[in-house]
Amino acid sequence: MRTSVLSDWLAQRLERGGGQPLYRQLHHLLQQAILSRELPAGSKVPSSRLLAAELGIARNTVTQVYEQLVLEGYVHSASGRGTFVADSAPDEIVGASGVEHTPLVLSALSPAALAPLAPLTPLAPLPPAVTQTLSQRGTRLVAGAGVSKRQGGAFMPGVPDVTRFPARVWARLHNKYWRRLRPDLLTYAPGGGLALLRHVLADYLRTSRSVRCAPEQIIITTGIHQSVDLAVRLLTDPGDLIWTEDPCYWGVRSVLHVSGLETRPIAVDDEGINPSPDDLQHPPRMMLVTPSHQYPLGMVMSLARRRMLLEYARQQQCWIIEDDYDSEYRYGSRPLASLQGLDTAGQVIYVGSFGKTLFPGLRMGYLVAPEGLAERFATASAELYREGQLLQQAMLAEFIAEGHFTSHIRKMRALYGQRRGALLEAVAQRYGTALPTLGGDAGLHLVLQLPPGVDDRAVAMAALERNIVVRALSGYYAEASRAAPGLLMGYACVPDEEIAPAFSVLADALDVTLKGIR
């Protein structure tokens, strides 16, 4: 193939001064020419000096492209002989019509071959046999995903105010550990996590949450999702029955769905999860509860209900996962003791996270395993997840030991309590008692109850069009027929002065729907 033919073909497709750099365009064109056999296997490509001169571009650009193609295996260099297209393509390429494809450069002297094309032709879509390969559980997971593209602003639930995090203290600890770098902090984490963090965390949980645990029972994870996943993998088999609260957190429900468990949603009342006589006749292998602050409705599980669940679990030999969601943030009363602290049979797995108390991007949580299973939990965690982040674990351990963690929680509890009050006041000023709120005594959000018949998902979409993020309460229920309409409104990450104006915008969107049902 003559160099001038290739140069003309490339020149007609390069966009000078376009959105894509010349390097990327040239690499793409040569790559596609080789894949489609425009440049046949074994053909020699022009020298970088010659091709650069004919295209009128810098030689360094061509050299870079050639080097990249060599690394990717498209071409190879022969010392003293030049650069050649690698012999890695199939002997013939047959199109969808069954007709063998003729390489363009081999017929490049025809006018049709040199017709102008878009400089970066998109790759052809993959055939259905390749694209439609999700498993049933994968399809179900993606279809039911509740994750939001927005992770902040009014009124995103469950997001703390990361701007108030004591960054200087964290930076000091970060610099300290990098200056005195220990090689053992750069490798995989030992089973269960860094020993120092497990010790200080055990002290904290015993003091603040009445959790009964030794450091060896604590397993450091990446958060609630991984903690639940680990417990489910070790203590259940596909097809086992698990009770979940209804409504419940959609993220944990997704973890359970892909695990192959049979989930049974159990309605909640003012005292928490409330299994019916029929439910009690079908003992689960495991149940997942949020006793200190039910998510999303916010009620606290009564002592009587806690004792009933623990006795039932003891009699039926089933496990309880206690998700201690937002337990540190109670307004007007002290944080409540954990369910795990009442457990005398060793059947409660306690899970928590630093995502709300520090910052979500830390991606660090913990699981307290029953004493007799702790070593096996640690082994399984290391086997399944190959954890690391030992530097961050060391920093967090010192952050807690120096008192910064509890100090930060105290400050944020006061701040969030103030913002909670501002949001409750904004609701009252607009609606009086017409739209009650739930869950305002704790946590980082409250629920605005809506009248029956209101489409809370439509309200959430209308609010999003006005740059306000809320979550529809109905989406947290397992079955639409039992769902109650409402809006989850997070206040933690909203500056005080923005709460009232933002709620006014939300209320304007809501009023359109309310007028339609009156």
User: Of how many residues is the chain composed?
Assistant: 518
Task: Identify the pLDDT of residue 279.
Answer: 96
Q: Which of 333, 319, 412, 331 is nearest to 367 (CA)?
A: 319
Task: Identify the pLDDT of residue 2.
Answer: 55
Q: Which residue has the higher pLDDT, 123 or 427?
A: 427
- Is 227 a residue whose pLDDT tops 70? yes
Task: Identify the pLDDT of residue 127.
Answer: 60
Amino acid at 517: I
Task: Identify the pLDDT of residue 225.
Answer: 95
The reported pTM is 0.76
C-alpha angle 188-197-375 in degrees, rounded to nearest 5: 65
pLDDT (average), residues 394-401: 97
pLDDT tens digits, 316-357: 999 999 999 888 888 877 767 899 999 999 999 999 999 999
- Is 474 a residue whose pLDDT tops 90? yes
176, two tokens: 């300290």
pLDDT (average), residues 256-274: 94
Radius of gyration of the chain (CA): 30
Specify the residue for token string 């000078």: 16
Task: Identify the pLDDT of residue 338.
Answer: 92
Q: Which residue has the higher pLDDT, 133 or 496?
A: 496
pLDDT (average), residues 403-424: 96
Average of per-residue pLDDT values in the chain: 87
- Is 508 a residue whose pLDDT tops 70? yes
Task: Identify the pLDDT of residue 104.
Answer: 43
pLDDT cut 70: percent of the chain above it = 88
Q: Is residue 224 a contact partner of residue 351, using CB atoms and an 8 Å limit?
A: yes
Residues in contact with 477: Cβ distance below 8 Å, sequence separation at least 6, in sequence order: 246, 247, 265, 483, 484
Amino acid at 402: E
**241-246 and 286-289: which strand pairing?**
parallel
pLDDT cut 90: percent of the chain above it = 60
- Is 485 a residue whose pLDDT tops 80? yes
Half-sphere exposure of 191 (CA within 13 A, CB side): 15
pLDDT (average), residues 163-174: 96
Task: Identify the pLDDT of residue 135.
Answer: 78
- Is 117 a residue whose pLDDT tops 50? no
- Is 112 a residue whose pLDDT tops 50? no
> What DSSP string describes 269-303?
ETTEE---HHHHTS--SEEEE--SS-TTT-PPPPH
Q: Which residue has the higher pLDDT, 471 or 34?
A: 471
Q: Please report the domains of the chain, with CATH numbers, ordered by start residue.
A: 3-114 (1.10.10.10), 162-406 (3.40.640.10), 416-517 (3.90.1150.10)
Q: Is residue 323 a contact partner of residue 339, using CB atoms and an 8 Å limit?
A: no
Least confident of 104-118, 198-212, 272-286, 392-406: 104-118
129, two tokens: 């046999």
pLDDT tens digits, 496-506: 999 999 999 99
